[in-house]
Amino acid sequence: MLQSLFLVACIYASSAHAFATFQWPNPLLRYADQQLYEAGLDQFVANCLAADNTTVSAQWLRIAYHDMSTHDEEDGTGGLDASIQYELDRPQNVGIGMPTSLLSFAVADTIALGAVLAVAACGGPIIPYSIGRIDATVAGPSTVPEPQQDLASHIASFHRQGFNQTEMIALVACGHTLGGVREEDFPLIVTEDLNLGETDQYLQNTTQNVLVVGPNVTTRSDFRIFSSDGNVTMQSLLSPNTFSETCADLIQRMINTVPSGVSLTDPIGPFNYILNPSTSPTVTMFWTDRQGSFCPSIGCSIQSSGTQTSLLSIISTAQARLSPISKFWFTVDNNDGSESVVVDNGGGGFVVEDDVISMFVDSLRSEEVLVLGASTSFDEFLKLVVAVSKHALLFADANDISATTFLPLSNTLDATPPLLPTLTTTTLQIDESNPSEGGFTFFTTNISTSVAFINLTANAGDATYTQINVDLTGIAFGAVVST
């Protein structure tokens, strides 16, 4: 079963209209939902978090633009494709924010998501998010605009990227409201860390934006850009509604600028739910037992109230009961007086086919093990238990079950891009401590507690069954101490 799909079904229920277009299964939407609602990246920019004399939001938006700016509208090359991880040695990509941001994400879709979260965290508009970007394997052209360039060069650069002069002015204004210019990154431009400032400050001549009023006339790129149409565009952005709508449109276009031939999904929503969730939603999962002998007419059910993690827990708990499920559905009560919403896949429920293998991480049997050493040292690992349905009886031996683990990107500042996860494939063995039950056989292996995602693979004769990108970060495992 696909745990994150179940979770997103719960979350989508906050908007019945939005969910009406979502039909399961859909692997591409599953990935997008997982990135939006389960990755937890929003915690790193919450409340427009300050960092390194700027904001994390400014760093994330900057890296998204610098990645996108390799785009050439005429020949369809470049765009937001994660090529930035191969381009950090270039002077226009200077700054600690670049490598530290890549420690949080190094693939194009999550770079785009970072921009969406960055803007929202600083009180900006909710930008629609689509996925489907394809990661580059080499660096793109060195085409990021730089402060010392003249106005004609900037206009030409933005035009190549797909933005006209008016859009260039507005996009720069939108981006430069979130952060500042660091002296250690640009010592020839600024003598102290300064915020870039807001539109009204520029028009009222109160801005300290060094790219507008800095001592080096050559690097006053914002002044040249903002004033290039007699401040007509900047005047229009004084309206909060206009500013918000314009920025949302342009930043969406920016993160959706991709090489020709790359197709993005429709925007995933409703994004505002993850930013402003109900204080204590009650989610009830119902399912129909395939044998029809254990569930009342309304179906079996299990309920959870509270956080997203607990939503994952009800899925894992339902699975761990080893009841042969034929289909499942949800109701969500936001506990705010509104009517509960039914999430049932367009009325048909989410059907679990009988002719496919059922394989899942058993959260109740899996456990984190802390091994105490002779002194103060200790070791820890996750004893991963995977439940495989009666089809496992067809396997010749335990070598038919394997897990590929994904360790997250290095979290050291001296890591060298490209920042790629570590992949390790491990064969699972039959778990002697958990005998077969309910038509399921249990397999186990020990993995690092730092593993974020796993792929499960089972071979049955000529067929191969998989569970892709099983997210372990949202599952609460039990813990035991060993000596």
Question: Annotated active-site positions, please?
Answer: 66
For residue 84, give the nearest of 111, 44, 119 by alpha carbon. Answer: 111
User: Over the Cα atoms of the chain, what is R_g?
Assistant: 26
Name, in order, each residue with C-beta under 8 angstroms of 312's C-beta and a sequence gap of 6 or more: 3, 7, 474, 475, 476
Q: Give the pair of three-digit tokens for residue 344.
A: 């049932």
Residue 384's DSSP bridge partners are 445
Going by DSSP bridges, is the β-strand pair 180-181/478-482 parallel, antiparallel, or unpaired? unpaired
Do residues 447 and 385 touch, judged by C-beta distance below 8 A?
no
Q: How far apart are CA 264 and CA 244, in angstroms?
A: 24
Q: How far is CA 271 from the centre of its chain?
A: 12
Q: Is the dihedral of CA 207, 210, 214, 219 positive or negative?
A: negative
Tell me whether residue 77 is exposed, middle or buried, using C-beta atoms within 10 angstroms of its C-beta: 0 to 12, 13 to 18, 19 or more. middle
Do residues 300 and 290 touch, judged by C-beta distance below 8 A?
no
Q: How far apart are CA 259 and CA 161, in angstroms?
A: 11
Do residues 174 and 64 touch, judged by C-beta distance below 8 A?
no
